Chains A and B, each alone.
Chain A
Amino acid sequence: MADAERVPGFATLAIHAGAKPDPTTGARITPIYQTASFVFDDVDHAASLFGLQAFGNIYTRIGNPTCAVLEERVAALEGGTAGLAVASGHAAQVVVMHALMTPGDEFVASKKLYGGSINQFNHSYKNFGWNVVWADPDDIASFEKAMTPKTKAIFIESIANPGGVITDIEAVSKIARKAGVPLIVDNTLATPYLCKPFDYGANIVVHSLTKFLGGHGNSIGGMIVDGGNFNWTRKGQYPMLSEPRPEYSGIVLAETFGNFAFAIACRVLGLRDLGPALSPFNAFLIINGIETLPLRMQRHSDNALAVSEWLSKRPEVLWVSYPGLAGDKYNALAKKYVPKGCGAVFTFGLKGGHEAGVKLVSNVKLFSHLANIGDTRSLIIHPASTTHKQLSDAQKVQAGAGPDVVRLSIGLEDKDDIIADLEEGLTAA
């Protein structure tokens, strides 16, 4: 692979990127470097590492060789310049915003996001003085209207959880570029196998690794990927990157680290000081999951399409919201952004309302009733009786969690078994 002109394909990168054999032992599988710290050669080596003058490992809160393989792997799959692994998808969002925002700043976010992100932005961020302004992904002009001189970023999801909303990434990226702010895309549901947001003008990608990248429901983790395509040097706009940093004796990160400066800022200012480091053991499990990502995502998508088609013909079902279905509101955007498939997660409505939803989740035997997505197993949840129980009926409807709504995350089982289980659940008294 010395030939730089040959660009490896996605499946090759999913297995090899970032993971050469261990230089000291020859171990072919990435070892779990389960250590808090790393020894220095001498005082000068230590000083060089702490001063960011040398590449290397100091302390696992700042970096770890197992986590680093995961970082390079995901960065390569997304087509970014660098990655930073953190403890969860939520942590990824906090670390990104910490690098971009100062108290009193605003960011514009799609109002159709994963509910956990809506909560984090609406409530937790208030304590930092970071103010979210909501825009409607079905009305792209609303993003432009929401921009003010205080806006520091735009945040969207490629495929939104749970409603199957596909955002026109390219259209939003034009608004971000015009305003001179970065576009952040949560690419958790699509994964880079189905969609690469950097190809459409995104500047930063975030992930919950817990879902399809890890893919086996065994580890919580998050990832930040730097697109390397944003100019951070504009004076005063992003002081973490453009101003001399007192934490590092006056280094200007944007000048020192070229096109991966954002990932470095997230690591040496955000992760170092906020502290949500990923466990090397979790990184190991997630790396192993990623090796089969292309195979899994295709099967997830193919199964989900078959199940959604079957459900849309059932007498008990009022509607199915899956962008892969012909006639779905987002089908045209799906053909552009996720042509290989629309992923595993979708919602549908039951004619029998709340009671029918409760009955279904109780009667299924293959589907697991739990609050997660992106497992090899098929998963089911009735949001109105669980994750969204505390909301009023009106709030539930607005959040896409009305009393009749059931959310599925279709697994990798045989599709006939998945369908048979749903049929039994729907028809059982």
Chain B
Amino acid sequence: MNHDAYPDSYIRGILNSVKTIAMVGISPNTSRPSYFVFKYLLGRGYRMIPVNPGQAGKDILGQAFYAKLSDIPEPIDMVDIFRASEHVMPIVQEALTLKPKPQVIWMQLTIRDDAAALLAEQAGIKVVMNRCPKIEYGRLSTEISWIGVNSRTLSSKRAQILGKGVQRMGLGTPKD
């Protein structure tokens, strides 16, 4: 995978297939970007599991914190890493020991570790680096267009409405 430019179909495929996301490094501070992303993805129907050793035993938005990935007692589809690049390798190494292994390892905006990415890809895991799943979901669902952001997508098909209520859009199929 070329980690400088991901096709929309690759990102949409990941966000359409994963259901359980463990977020490593989520802050309990509600003003931090990690909290924004956690809350947003929770609201889009993903099962979100917060991972932060300093918060183990507490919970956030009704979800129990775990100290580390291997403490989580259920299968994880995607690990979303909110730690600086130098901390990525041990997290990926730990993720590779999980049974079953996660399908996706995602590193947030500004975070990139090519060696860790290669290690994960050699184990058959899809990798995304230096991207935000909230921004990507917003971009591909058209929600982010409401705030004037250049989504870099064109389509003559309607965007899909997600579930009930207003102002919640779905990702659609890769054809769209």
User: Which residues of A are interface residues toward B (Cβ below 8 A)?
Assistant: 1-5, 8, 12-13, 16-18, 20-24, 26, 28, 38-42, 45, 48-49, 52-57, 63, 65, 67-69, 71-72, 75-76, 80-85, 244, 248-252, 255-256, 258, 260, 263-264, 267
Say whether, besides A21-B158, A23-B161, A55-B138, A2 and B147 are in contact (CB < 8 Å). Answer: no
- A-B pairs with CB below 8 Å: how many? 135
Distance in Å from the Cβ of B134 to the closest Cβ of chain A?
9
From A65, A67, A72, A85, B151 is in contact (CB under 8 Å) with A72
Residues in B whose Cβ lies below 8 Å from that of A56: 143, 146, 167
Say whether, besides A2-B8, A2-B176, A263 and B154 are in contact (CB < 8 Å). Answer: no
Docked complex Cα distance between A23 and B176 (Å): 13
Residues in A whose Cβ lies below 8 Å from that of B138: 55
Docked complex Cα distance between A38 and B12 (Å): 28
Check A18 against B33 for contact (C-beta < 8 Å): no
Say whether, besides A258-B109, A258-B132, A263-B148, A57 and B167 are in contact (CB < 8 Å). Answer: yes
Distance in Å from the Cβ of B138 to the closest Cβ of chain A?
5
Docked complex Cα distance between A362 and B61 (Å): 71
Docked complex Cα distance between A421 and B156 (Å): 44
Distance in Å from the Cβ of A382 to the closest Cβ of chain B?
39
Check B160 against A23 for contact (C-beta < 8 Å): yes
Distance in Å from the Cβ of B26 to the closest Cβ of chain A?
14
Docked complex Cα distance between A284 and B80 (Å): 40
Docked complex Cα distance between A124 and B49 (Å): 52
Q: Which residue of B lies closest to A17 (CB)?
A: B154
Task: Answer yes or no: B175 CB below 8 A from chain A CBs.
Answer: yes
Check B147 against A65 for contact (C-beta < 8 Å): no
Residues of B101-134 contacting chain A, CB below 8 A? 109, 132
Q: Which residue of B lies closest to A39 (CB)?
A: B166
Residues 29-47 of chain B: 1 if any A CB is under 8 Å from the residue's CB, otherwise 0? 0110101100110010000
Check B145 against A72 for contact (C-beta < 8 Å): yes
Docked complex Cα distance between A422 and B6 (Å): 55
Residues 151-176 of chain B: 1 if any A CB is under 8 Å from the residue's CB, otherwise 0? 11111111111000111110000111
Residues 3-28 of chain B: 1 if any A CB is under 8 Å from the residue's CB, otherwise 0? 00111110010000000000000000
Residues in B whose Cβ lies below 8 Å from that of A48: 39-40, 43
Docked complex Cα distance between A71 and B148 (Å): 5
Check B161 against A24 for contact (C-beta < 8 Å): yes
Check A21 against B156 for contact (C-beta < 8 Å): yes
Check B150 against A72 for contact (C-beta < 8 Å): yes
Task: Answer yes or no: B135 CB below 8 A from chain A CBs.
Answer: yes
Docked complex Cα distance between A72 and B143 (Å): 12
Check B43 against A20 for contact (C-beta < 8 Å): no
Say whether, besides A4-B5, A54-B43, A75 and B156 are in contact (CB < 8 Å). Answer: no
Docked complex Cα distance between A251 and B34 (Å): 12
Say whether, besides A20-B157, A23-B169, A256 and B33 are in contact (CB < 8 Å). Answer: yes
Check B147 against A80 for contact (C-beta < 8 Å): no
Q: Which residue of A lies closest to B174 (CB)?
A: A2
Task: Answer yes or no: B84 CB below 8 A from chain A CBs.
Answer: no
Docked complex Cα distance between A72 and B152 (Å): 9
Instruction: List the 9 closest A-B pairs by CB distance, nearest first.
Output: A71-B148, A41-B165, A250-B31, A75-B150, A4-B7, A56-B167, A55-B143, A4-B8, A82-B149
Residues in A whose Cβ lies below 8 Å from that of B5: 4-5
Knowing that A54-B43, A68-B148 touch, tell me 6 more A-B residue pairs with CB under 8 angstroms: A2-B174, A21-B157, A28-B156, A57-B146, A82-B147, A83-B150
Can you name 24 A-B residue pairings with CB atoms under 8 Å?
A3-B7, A4-B9, A18-B151, A23-B160, A38-B166, A42-B165, A52-B36, A53-B35, A53-B39, A55-B138, A55-B167, A57-B146, A65-B146, A67-B148, A72-B151, A75-B150, A76-B152, A81-B150, A83-B148, A85-B148, A249-B31, A252-B31, A260-B150, A263-B148
Distance in Å from the Cβ of B142 to the closest Cβ of chain A?
6
Task: Answer yes or no: B96 CB below 8 A from chain A CBs.
Answer: no
Docked complex Cα distance between A264 and B39 (Å): 19
Residues in B whose Cβ lies below 8 Å from that of A244: 31
Check B31 against A26 for contact (C-beta < 8 Å): no
Q: Which residue of A lies closest to B31 (CB)?
A: A250
Docked complex Cα distance between A12 and B153 (Å): 12
Residues 54-79 of chain B: 1 if any A CB is under 8 Å from the residue's CB, otherwise 0? 00000000000000000000000000
